Amino acid sequence: MSQSAAPVLEARQISKRFPGVVALDGVSLALFPGEVHALVGENGAGKSTLIKVFTGVHRPDAGELIYNGSPAAFGTPLDAQRAGISTIYQEVNLVPMMSVARNLMLGREPRGRLGVIDTARMYGEAERILAGYGVVTDVRRPLRTLGMGVQQMVALARAVAIDARVVIMDEPTSSLEPREVETLFSVIRKLKDDGIAVVYVSHRLDELYAVCDRVTVLRDGKVAHTGPLAGLERLKLISLMLGRDLDEVKSGGLTRFSRDRRRAGKRDGAPPAVRAEGLTRRQVLHGVDVAVWSGEVVGLGGLLGAGRSETAKAIVGALRLDSGRVLVAGLPLRTGSTTAAVRAGAGLLPEDRKAEGIIPELSVRENIALAALPSLSRAGVVSDAKIDKVVEVFMRRLKIKAASPHQPVQELSGGNQQKVLLARWLAIRPKILLLDEPTRGIDVGAKAEVQALVDELAEEGLGVLLISSDLEELVEGADRILVMREGAVVGELSGDDVTEDKIMASIAERGAESDG
């Protein structure tokens, strides 16, 4: 970090208004060469808007942007990119059908005579560049056939390769495995050494402390804090983000699960809320057995690609199986039918909220009522009165923040969208809820609320299967943990054994490398 040097990019008193919202209100931020600058804040704090101002997507209403010592006004994202500001977004924006090499070299392919692309050299160069990022793969394959982690690395390699002076990373690790995160960090440290400034946006505190030098906390469009990260206590950081008293946060713990005891589930002779037996699908699942009793939260641990999401999907009939069966409350389900699963009372909150969860253009109300429609109608005609009642109850109980029940769900923040999806399942009065990364990509406040809700639901007698790559969440939220590796359950932890160390030990037990 070279604080003495002039900042490479500086925002001075930037303000940005949208109809009805002040997204940024006099925000100043200086970014120095060779520093990794964490940008944090709850959803709606203004992070995305600030990034979009940096990258030329938005123009500020007031204030100015200083780049390399002179005022800059980027008209378009391309201008910003040409000037040396590269961005890696949450969703990788590359061309999925083209080869890895083509994506990496797009627009600057090595040319042979007659201006024809020299494919041999292109592949060679792509392989060499990616090797530097710890990615060894066939660069001729279409990008979409690779895992998200590898795609992210390609995006990063591409961004850096375009002579960047500033690299902005928006939740870069949200789809990476721990191993890949390590690679990413080593790349970031290399960027630092090269004098490149990095803006790092993430919800994961561990990562911020591992890789960032300074932090700027945004809250309600204003800078709540800016300064070095080392020496800033975690709880202090959280309290800055939440804008709550430190004492209040401390008393709540880091997650909102009640950690004082582990529930045992109601094993009073009744069949489990859900029992899956021998779920098998070639190359994906190998005889997975899972049982969740009413009133307990069972965690599924394991690395990315261990088959956790696939298990959940198989249970609700959304993944075709070669063999295996699922029983809800003792009754076998018709295989391969989500309709049957939902009717029996099993609902899956999917990992990919946008692609598999919300119906973006429909209202909050319709999204909540979707799964329960058959029970909210009479003779095939929907009952507005019934729907209104259910929607009102759950919007209040889950504290869903929307202008009205009729607001399109796509306009809500990620946390509120997630609550809408939870409400969709609660509306069917489920026996078993399968939650796949329920708190991923949502702000700290919503995260705590979702965690508290899961706790509450289990207390009320619901069976919950919880998938989370956040070990802390898993340990504090689950009463029992099944550890998966390579499509099979390899261990079960309960009682005092439910600790982060034991989970990791169980994953590593046979020493097998999980390949993403």
Query: Cα separation of 318 and 284, whole Å?
Result: 14
Residue 377 makes contact with another protein by CB under 8 A: yes
Residue 328 makes contact with another protein by CB under 8 A: no
Among 149, 295, 302, 350, contact with another protein (rule: CB under 8 A): 350
CB 394 within 8 A of CB 426: yes
Residue 316 makes contact with another protein by CB under 8 A: yes
119/338 with CB nearer another protein: 338
CB 491 within 8 A of CB 289: no
CB of 495 to another protein, least distance (A): 33
Residue 370 makes contact with another protein by CB under 8 A: yes
318/505 with CB nearer another protein: 318
Residue 146 makes contact with another protein by CB under 8 A: no
Which region among 171-179, 192-200, 219-227, 352-360 touches another protein (by CB under 8 A)?
Answer: 352-360
Query: How does strand 381-382 pair with strand 377-378?
Result: antiparallel
6/359 with CB nearer another protein: 359
Query: Cα separation of 47 and 197, whole Å?
Result: 17
Packing angle between helix 444-459 and helix 234-242, nearest 10 degrees?
100
CB of 373 to another protein, least distance (A): 5
Residue 355 makes contact with another protein by CB under 8 A: yes
Residue 381 makes contact with another protein by CB under 8 A: yes
Residues numbered 45-74 forming contacts with another protein, rule: CB under 8 A? 58-59
Place of tokens 């809800």: 328
229/362 with CB nearer another protein: 362
Query: Cα separation of 199 and 3, whole Å?
Result: 15
Which region among 42-50, 85-93, 276-284, 362-370 touches another protein (by CB under 8 A)?
Answer: 362-370
Burial class (CB in 10 A: 0-12, 13-18, 19+), 378: exposed
- H-helix or E-strand spanning residue 507: helix 500-508
| Helices and strands, number each (H, E), in the chain | 17, 22
Binding mask 18-37 for another protein (x = CB under 8 A): -x------------------
52/214 with CB nearer another protein: 52
135/348 with CB nearer another protein: 348
Residues numbered 421-480 forming contacts with another protein, rule: CB under 8 A? 424
Phi, psi (degrees; rounded to nearest 5) at 119:
-65, -40
Token pair listed for 18: 């949208």
Question: Among 31, 40, 360, which residue's Cα sits nearest to residue 170?
Answer: 40
Contacts of 490 (CB under 8 A, 6+ apart): 483, 484, 506, 507, 509, 510
Enumerate the β-bridge partners of residue 16: 24
Packing angle between helix 414-426 and helix 384-397, nearest 10 degrees?
130
Residue 231 makes contact with another protein by CB under 8 A: no
Binding-site ranges for another protein (CB under 8 A): 19, 58-59, 75-76, 316, 318, 338-339, 341-343, 347-348, 350, 355-362, 366, 369-371, 373-374, 377, 380-382, 424
